[in-house]
A and B are shown apart, each in its own frame.
Chain A
Amino acid sequence: MGKKSIETLVGLFVLAGVVALVFLALKAANLGSFDSGDTYTLTAKFDNIGGLKARAPVRSAGVTVGRVTAISLDPKTYQGVVHLQIQKGVQFPDDSSARILTAGLLGDQYLGIEPGGSEKNFAPGDQIKQTQSAVVLENLIGQFLFSKAADAGTPGASTPPANGGKK
């Protein structure tokens, strides 16, 4: 085989690799779906961020409008500070509220923004004042058990008919 044809074949080989890489990056991964384009940042403080992670999506009405860029702890108030990056084209009123929600029963957690009714919009770098913490399953179960126990403690409440009243 000549020198020229070997070089052509190697060129084709490398080209195939580049095409495959572009396919992986654009079609099979998230490059280009969001990261491009201008963004502005907002922050929000939560009493409990639950399982929220950096790079989690920010959604409004189910539509992804941004991403969580960083999470830190406020050393004074002991609240979790979540930094968001929102697409420039999407503006929210400055009394909008942020909630930490879960996609499906066991899905990943994301940050939902509920738009408010104010005339003014958030400026870049603003803080979302109204927040609602993540629902922690252990707390829910705890509340449920306590309310059950309270029910069982009151007289006249339903007692388990274990023996059917027979002696």
Chain B
Amino acid sequence: MAALITPLGRKTLEVLRTLGHHASFFIDLMKSLPPVLRRPYLAVAQVHAIGNLSLVIIVASGLAVGFVLALQMYYALSRYGAAESLGLVVNLSLVRELGPVVSALLFAGRAGTSLTAEIGLMKAGEQLAAMDMMAIDPRSRVLAPRFIGGIVSMPILAILFSTIGILGAYVVAVLLIGVDSGNFWSIMQSGVDVWRDVGNGIVKSIVFGVICTFVALYQGYETQATPEGVAHATTKTVVISSLAVLGMDFILTALMFSTT
């Protein structure tokens, strides 16, 4: 009997310890944010590394998603004679769900992994320890600017993703298929609310930015300082942040769009 109960207890304590470790790491990270204000350039450089360099994949994916969504929705909607509502359907699905979620998944793959690998190698090369020796807090010097860079970049990338997707849908629906341009825009405008749809989408993308960046930094900072450790941490970054984003998206959608 004890052989069954003891592993259960050990597992529970392990989960609790991991959660507590995440929480205390998060609190430390929050405490190390204010010093960045004295060196804003550090954060600006990270916005460049995280945001600007992710632009190509975000724009390309947004365009592709917009194209495909418009084509598929056209096949489905034209059966019911509602092809004019195409713009509305594409806009709502992009702004509410696909924009924040897909760009967060791409963000975890493109930016999160590079953050983890960079910090992991810094740790493996004992650069973080060297900073500590020179009385420079590696959290406020290395982690905090990256955290801010991630949180600033993520909403911008999500907005760009949705916008490019809508323009892509416009190209397919209006220019290629021949849906009426005026109806495309006016039905979209009457059905999409700025605060409820666009605003909530932005809130979602900020939350996803915090999740993805935090997971990447945590995995990098707590990695085992070996080549295998860094590889393992990079994989874990993608898996954990993707699952966290998808789970959080369900919770946020239920909270934001449940009533009326």
Seen from chain A, the residues whose Cβ lies within 8 Å of a Cβ on chain B are 3, 6-7, 9-10, 13-14, 16-17, 20-21, 23-25, 27-31, 33, 53-55, 57
Contact = CB atoms under 8 A, between A and B. Distances in A.
5 contacts: A16-B160, A24-B198, A25-B194, A28-B188, A29-B192
Given A6-B48, A13-B55, A24-B159, A53 B260 contact: yes
A30 B156 contact: no
Contacts of B91: 28-29
Given A28-B189, A29-B198, A30-B190, A9 B159 contact: no
Contacts of A24: 95, 159, 162-163, 166, 198
Given A13-B156, A20-B163, A29-B194, A3 B48 contact: no
B160 A30 contact: no
A51 to B, nearest CB: 11
Contacts, number: 79
Interface string B114-126: 0000000000000
Given A6-B45, A17-B156, A24-B162, 9 more contacts: A16-B160, A17-B160, A27-B185, A28-B95, A29-B189, A29-B193, A29-B197, A54-B260, A55-B193
Contacts of A3: 41
Interface string B17-54: 00000000000000000000000010011011001100
Interface residues of B, number: 31
Among all A-B residue pairs, the 7 with the closest Cβ atoms: A17-B156, A20-B163, A31-B194, A29-B192, A29-B194, A20-B159, A10-B47
Nearest to A31: B194
Nearest to B260: A53
B90 to A, nearest CB: 10
Contacts of B95: 24, 28-29
Contacts of A6: 44-45, 48
A112 to B, nearest CB: 16
B109 interface: no
Interface in B52-75: 52, 55
